[in-house]
Chain A
Amino acid sequence: MPELTYREAVRDALSTAMRQDDDVFIMGEDIAEMGGSMGVTAGMLDEFGKERVRNTPISEMALAGAAIGAAMQGMRPVAEIMYEDFMTLAAEQVVNQAAKLRYMSGGQLTVPVVFRTQGGAGWSPGAQHAQQLEAWFVHIPGLKVVFASTPEDVRGLLWSAIYDDNPVVFFEHRTLYPLKGDVPQEIEPIPIGRARIHREGEDVTVIATGRLVHETLKAAEEAERDGISVEVVDPRTLQPLDEETLVASVKKTNRAVVAHEAVTRMGFGAEVAAVLQYQAFDWLDAPIERVGAKFAPLPFAPVMEAFVVPHAEDVLAAIKRTVGKG
């Protein structure tokens, strides 16, 4: 099995799709010669040329709109929004146009566009370049939302996103780009809407996304030393949500923690907690714990940033609270 970094895995999915399919192309700010601000598309200009690796002006709304237009005309564009903080600028096109057009045209139009974007703290980018805004888009009917945490998942899910006939907002985490992992020789599409159980356990289920999947796996090892067996589940797709897998896991362990880097208030974990309490009410033996960032803009100072966002020890503390050992 080949080993790829998360960054290479994204590039591999894009390049493979573009090699086999003329309808697929990428566009975004500085993605051509510069290879994107995170280096994801480095080298792709040489292989595919500037018609298919398109630099755009610095207007997220314009580039999102252009991608939506191309998608309506039958292309499968992948637009890169440099930071998910800038999704706020593209929001009109993503929320009011991409998400609505298939519905409002009675199915006459489809919008097979992917908005790739990245964010996340851990490298001191400050309050305007590190937010985790996935919950904003999970709230919009008509959008699919993906947040992959491993090289294998990011490649297989990006592939499915490109070939999905609906708009997909595809979140990548900045600090995961150098993460290495085994991937299948050939790209194996991962169906949108299916969770992944990273680790099986008996005592508590932690449902984590993005960077927190890895923090949770560390916490689970720590907990194991205290005799607590932790099941770690990554939904991978936030919309649609694999409720069945999450609920089945919690019915087995009777306790749940939800963990993400975004602030807990109105975060994705709030929705997961609501789903679990409703569908697994009679199986819960402890209140559902939520782990997320403190409700504050992200500080620039590294020590303060580390204080605001959650880490393995926060997940571990929540795990222990659910089993009454906090």
Chain B
Amino acid sequence: MATEVILPRLGQGMESGTIVRWLKAEGEPVEKGEPLFELDTDKVTQEVEAEAAGVLLKIAVPEGEVPVGQTVAFIGQQGEDVPEVAAAASHEEPKTAAPEPEPAAAPPAETAVVSGNGRIKASPLARRMARERGIELSDIRGTGPDGRIVAEDVERAEVGAPAPTTAPVPRGEVERVPLTSIRKTIARRLTEAWQIPVFQLQTSADMTRVNALVARLRERDPDVRVTVTDVLTKVSAQALLRHREVNAEFTDEAILLHPSANVGLAVAAPQGLVVPVIRSAERLSLTEIAAVRSDLVGRARESKLRAEDIEGGTFTISNLGMYAVERFTAVLNPPQAAIVAVGATEERVVPLDGGIAVRPIVTLTGTFDHRAVDGAPAAAFLQTLKESLEDPGLAL
């Protein structure tokens, strides 16, 4: 008898998911554990694996939103009969409206050439230059082989001059970008977060020693590229345990103080903002944090985070330093009581020992849930953070 493929519950609170695409076609053999379809939930996009081996006999729901527990396909032996139930039971809203007309032909590439997996074709040098100058590759038209973005294209983009070949013709229509589940969730949660009474505190820290520490760690262990973000994660975790009122969550009955610092990192994934979590960061060494961070961020960018990767955070770091942002304020990531926004580490002139010096300075802006934490303890937390960055030994 054919095995039903049921829409799985990937995390707490998940009630439905949207099938993005099937990775197997009807009639194709399937191994147990092989990725079967891509499922977009309000938290992650994840590949769902087959729980039985055989042949994918029927796809009952080719795409669209489906409640958890519904049968979406059948796996069985070749030629086996499939029960009728599934297709009719689809939870999907009837498609009364005519589908959006497809454009007659693909519009000519006006910007970057994007390959099937969403990756923009650009040389490593062009990537580095774009990163350093804060230019989005997607805004650049490549003139190299196969439309590859090369250094010259980035130079041109910075000057703002058009590419030497035909300039892109502006298109008159407003482009509609349908909301994905993740986009909807981002919108809903940020609107909720906006209701929370928050206050912001700001401080700056001299990063000379952190930079030296990162350089030494990289030299000692080039395979694990420790970054400033890893140091921030570590010192934040230590500071959170020293100031537990910040490592908190406000509920109607009580304020919950978490026993461990689960530090979330805001990552720009292709489908939108995600915040994978480094668990118990206070117990991990810098190289351990770097390894976990590299894995999580890598999977975030490939849309391969699992539900458990993004659950249980107690604090968030949002770092826009790579975009030459000097300082900014972040919106709270509820139910967490605090988030810190990290700007670029820049050479700034600072007073030092009665004279002046040029030092790498970073500005940190904390946003705190005032229901859970008051100004003074939040300020003390930020002070610990600053001191630990200026003298990382103090975080030990």
Give the B-binding residues of A (Cβ under 8 A).
254, 281-286, 321, 324, 326
Contacts and interface: CB of A to CB of B under 8 A. Distances in A.
Given A254-B151, A324-B150, A284 B125 contact: yes
Given A254-B151, A324-B150, A282 B145 contact: no
Contacts of B151: 254, 285
A239 B172 CA distance: 61
Contacts of B150: 285-286, 324
Given A254-B151, A324-B150, A286 B123 contact: yes
Contacts of A286: 123, 144-145, 150
Interface string B137-160: 000000111000011000000000
A254 B124 CA distance: 10
Contacts of A285: 123-126, 150-151
B144 A282 contact: no
- For the complex of A and B, the 7 pairs showing the least CB-CB separation, nearest first, are A282-B128, A285-B125, A285-B123, A285-B151, A284-B124, A281-B124, A324-B144
A283 B124 contact: yes
Nearest to A286: B123
A326 B144 CA distance: 11
Interface in B151-187: 151
Contact of B125 (A282, A321, A324, A326): A282
Nearest to B151: A285
B127 interface: yes
Contacts of B125: 254, 282-285
A130 B117 CA distance: 46
Contacts of A281: 124
Interface of B: 123-128, 143-145, 150-151
Contacts of B126: 285
A324 B152 CA distance: 11
B128 A324 contact: no
Contacts of A284: 123-125
Interface SS of B by simple majority = helix
Given A254-B151, A285-B150, A286-B150, A324 B127 contact: no
Nearest to A326: B145
Given A286-B145, A286-B150, 5 more contacts: A281-B124, A283-B124, A283-B125, A283-B128, A324-B145
B124 A324 contact: no
Contacts of B145: 286, 321, 324, 326
Contacts of A321: 145
B127 A282 contact: yes
B275 to A, nearest CB: 28
A283 B123 CA distance: 9
A261 B140 CA distance: 39
A121 to B, nearest CB: 31
Contacts of B128: 282-283
29 contacts: A254-B125, A254-B151, A281-B124, A282-B124, A282-B125, A282-B127, A282-B128, A283-B124, A283-B125, A283-B128, A284-B123, A284-B124, A284-B125, A285-B123, A285-B124, A285-B125, A285-B126, A285-B150, A285-B151, A286-B123, A286-B144, A286-B145, A286-B150, A321-B145, A324-B143, A324-B144, A324-B145, A324-B150, A326-B145
A22 to B, nearest CB: 48
Nearest to A283: B125
A285 B150 CA distance: 6
B144 to A, nearest CB: 5
B321 to A, nearest CB: 18
A132 B125 CA distance: 34
Contacts of A283: 124-125, 128
A321 B144 CA distance: 10
Contacts of A324: 143-145, 150
B160 to A, nearest CB: 21
A286 B142 CA distance: 13
A284 B127 CA distance: 10
A103 B143 CA distance: 53
Nearest to A278: B222
A87 to B, nearest CB: 35
Nearest to A254: B125
B133 to A, nearest CB: 14
B42 to A, nearest CB: 37
Nearest to A284: B124
A221 B144 CA distance: 24
Contacts of A254: 125, 151
Interface centre among B124, B144, B151 (most CB of A within 10 A): B124
A324 B142 CA distance: 11
Contacts of A282: 124-125, 127-128
Contacts of B124: 281-285
A144 B128 CA distance: 36
A326 B145 CA distance: 9
A10 to B, nearest CB: 41
B125 to A, nearest CB: 4
A142 B285 CA distance: 38
A224 to B, nearest CB: 20
B163 to A, nearest CB: 13
A285 B145 CA distance: 11
A254 B128 CA distance: 12
A324 B123 CA distance: 12
A284 to B, nearest CB: 5
A282 B128 CA distance: 6
A286 B128 CA distance: 13
Contacts of A326: 145
B149 to A, nearest CB: 10
Contacts of B143: 324
A321 B148 CA distance: 13
Nearest to B153: A285
B155 to A, nearest CB: 11
Nearest to B127: A282
A283 B151 CA distance: 9
